[in-house]
Structure 1
């Protein structure tokens, strides 16, 4: 074979190899502890930003798996994802993020919808966290939430909070709720619901002890919030929430984030990493932007009126 033929063959092989390498899609593996509107919206927001940045079609492999509310399944999913070697793992909510961080020390992990990433031991610092982990915190403005309840019920003395004591996110949030409530002279009555199936029983235990029920950003409670709403209607105890998506599912009102927008904010971090930045060099982002949603129909069913001051500044009224 002539030297020129050998050279042409080598060049053709290199071109084919290069084309194959270029054709390999970016692989973003996404997981969440449970499926519910807020967490689903985060996932969808991430994917929209990827699409806007050119990661689409054959250029993107985007997978999603739900742990169905079970930490042991979250751990199985995380181990499988590491074995599949994606370019980035996006872990939505605290248990899924903890599972991913535990098994991955090289693949970048971007968490989202995590209230207290330091308390959950995901990162040592919000500023340049180091390692392969960064993300977005959705720490809620609890003071604003309690002030909203007080606007509905000026003489509120006790607020019931169902929560999952096994979720680090929920334990951190409950501590903040108690701290802020104490400043306002409000008693917090907690009721544990370790599983979604426990939510109705936990909520019923609050009846007769509280003036209102507040559903924090707790994946177990939110996944079964219809049970809380039913108790609220039956017992005529108004139900409020820490996330706006829950208002369309029966809560009377909420001041909170648009979780699709939080997904977009998370997607911005994912794109930065895909373009070459190291996760550990990216500061953890704090969610921004709040909305006020109200549900007049549910307010009526729970025996309470929405103050005109609340209606006048509502971002969205759900009929």
Structure 2
């Protein structure tokens, strides 16, 4: 009888749902700001849409490096030690840290402008190994066209960036290449940490007709410091990040980073279902939004052309 009871108890235990999480997805970003946070949320929602819901078969882990590359490397090592099913690094510095830390755990990076330049993969179409992801390479030629449309007399653009961010260095080269045929000179001003952003912005006053901020995590984290300088000097400030427009940018043509996150999450789902990351091509995120800040433009005495307002995805009044 005792043997029968034990057998029945064992059978019942096997029939109970597992208490441990079935799948772990670990996500990290170099810093917290609206665009990267939106990408993280998009990843999570894409997983939920595919049936991987937090607490119901999914353990979703998130850590921010708070802008510190050394912390990003520490998080990467910790994640590798925890051995999740997939690691999702958001931004170039976090992706570089994670890719350097593992050759075995699947990695799906996102919000990386230049995956080749950052040495995350050797081939966009056939990445091989354990790494794939999404690029958010900015349409810089379209950005030049937009700035010229709003400021027809523009001759110089100030490029505010962190020279230590590989994506910003790649975007600088692309911007110069696009600006030259338009007869526009690009003037650089670097800030290697958020405390230096205001000073770097001030260094451009009197030297440029407009300021341009790329998808640079350091600058965007302290964007209000740059905006205050631009407002005081009556300088139009443009960004590549649409989430920054309601923080004081005049206009931005770029990705909706929640959508970028959703697209990234869909790749993660493919891997969870058995595909190898090295067999999934690295793609450029889809979609671009035009967001303009009419209120900010009026604050510095700038009238936005009707041609821009009429085709904007969103206008901040």
User: 1:85 matched to which residue of 2?
Assistant: 83
CA shift for structure 1 position 16:
3.9
CA shift for structure 1 position 164:
0.6
User: 2:214 matched to which residue of 1?
Assistant: 216
Alpha-carbon contact 2:39-2:260 (below 8 Å) kept:
yes
Match of 1:277 among 262, 269, 275: 275
Question: CA 1:36–1:310 in 2, change beyond 3 Å: closer, same or farther?
Answer: same
User: 1:136 matched to which residue of 2?
Assistant: 134
CA shift for structure 1 position 302:
1.9
- Report SS of the residue matched to 1:144: helix
CA shift for structure 1 position 300:
1.1
- 1:78-134 CA deviation, whole Å, 9 max, x = no partner? 111111111111000000000000111111111000000111011111012011110
Q: Distance in 2 between matches of 1:18 and 1:94?
A: 45
1:32 aligns with 2:29: yes
- 1:124-174 CA deviation, whole Å, 9 max, x = no partner? 110120111100000010010111110111111000011111111111011
When normalised by structure 2's length, the TM-score is 0.95
Alpha-carbon contact 1:193-1:199 (below 8 Å) kept:
yes
Match of 1:175 among 166, 173, 176: 173
- Report SS of the residue matched to 1:118: coil
**Structure 1: runs of 5+ lacking an equivalent:** none
User: 2:234 matched to which residue of 1?
Assistant: 236
**Structure 2: runs of 5+ lacking an equivalent:** none
Q: Distance in 1 between matches of 2:120 and 2:17?
A: 36
Structure 1 residues 163-312: aligned runs within 5 Å: 163-312=161-310
Q: Distance in 1 between matches of 2:20 and 2:13?
A: 10
Alpha-carbon contact 1:42-1:263 (below 8 Å) kept:
yes
CA shift for structure 1 position 13:
4.3
Q: Distance in 1 between matches of 2:189 and 2:202?
A: 9
| Deviant stretches of 4+, over 6 Å | none
User: Which range is displaced more, 50-59 or 207-216?
Assistant: 50-59
